[in-house]
A and B are shown apart, each in its own frame.
Chain A
Amino acid sequence: DTAVSQTPKYLVTQMGNDKSIKCEQNLGHDTMYWYKQDSKKFLKIMFSYNNKELIINETVPNRFSPKSPDKAHLNLHINSLELGDSAVYFCASSQVGPPSSYNSPLHFGNGTRLTVT
């Protein structure tokens, strides 16, 4: 019973396509996130949702759109994929936002490796 699960694990697609990555958490957490790990291995936050409301929208292209149908799910839709979108995308959740307190660490999924050809 995985706490934060995201699918698919691998995604290979061509430039210009539209794709989605799904994320679900069964921890009862209030806040969910999408992170991108780039080629230099830095983890950078893309979006954060608290109780289905977007509370952070960092500077990402508007081709990326998060969708949260309920508190336990946060999906990531990507339109018109570009080569530079190739990366590992991590979903995460925390009990309450923000995610930095001792009692509210981030729980990550296992990542989705997106390769755009």
Chain B
Amino acid sequence: DQQVKQNSPSLSVQEGRISILNCDYTNSMFDYFLWYKKYPAEGPTFLISISSIKDKNEDGRFTVFLNKSAKHLSLHIVPSQPGDSAVYFCAASHLHYSNYQLIWGAGTKLIIKP
């Protein structure tokens, strides 16, 4: 029962262009969402998060958008750089559902082409 879905296993984007990674969730109780980035042979590292009271959060080249009615969030990276090539995980949580433990998507592998 996948409650957090990242339907694109991989995404290839030209350097300098915008990368858009998508994430869908099924449980309307989720109220906090995070993106983590993972390089090969390393653990995931926190990238950016958003609370359900917001619909946008921006941090430098990274912006996360949340559409609660569609149960959808996306991560935008502008402009994309070669160092952005990694696997990106979407995660969600809610106090009463999961005691704030994170429910993870399967990840999307982003490849930035030079």
Number of A-B contacts (CB under 8 A): 64
Query: Does B60 reach chain A (CB closer than 8 Å)?
Result: no
Interface of A is mostly: loop
For chain B, the count of residues having a C-beta within 8 Å of the partner chain is 24
A45 lies within 8 A of B43 (CB): no
Where the two chains meet, the residues of B that have a C-beta atom closer than 8 Å to any C-beta of A are 32, 34, 36, 41-46, 49, 51, 87, 89, 91, 93, 95, 99-102, 104-107
A105 lies within 8 A of B46 (CB): yes
Residues of B within 8 A of A44 (CB): 104
Q: Which of B43, B102, B105, B106 is within 8 Å of A100, CB to CB?
A: B102
B94 to chain A, nearest CB (A): 9
B109 to chain A, nearest CB (A): 10
Q: Which of B41, B49, B100, B105 is within 8 Å of A98, CB to CB?
A: B100
Q: List 18 interface pairs A-B (beta carbons < 8 Å), by A numbering.
A: A40-B106, A41-B87, A41-B106, A42-B106, A43-B89, A44-B104, A45-B101, A45-B102, A90-B43, A98-B93, A98-B99, A100-B32, A101-B32, A102-B49, A105-B34, A108-B43, A110-B43, A111-B42
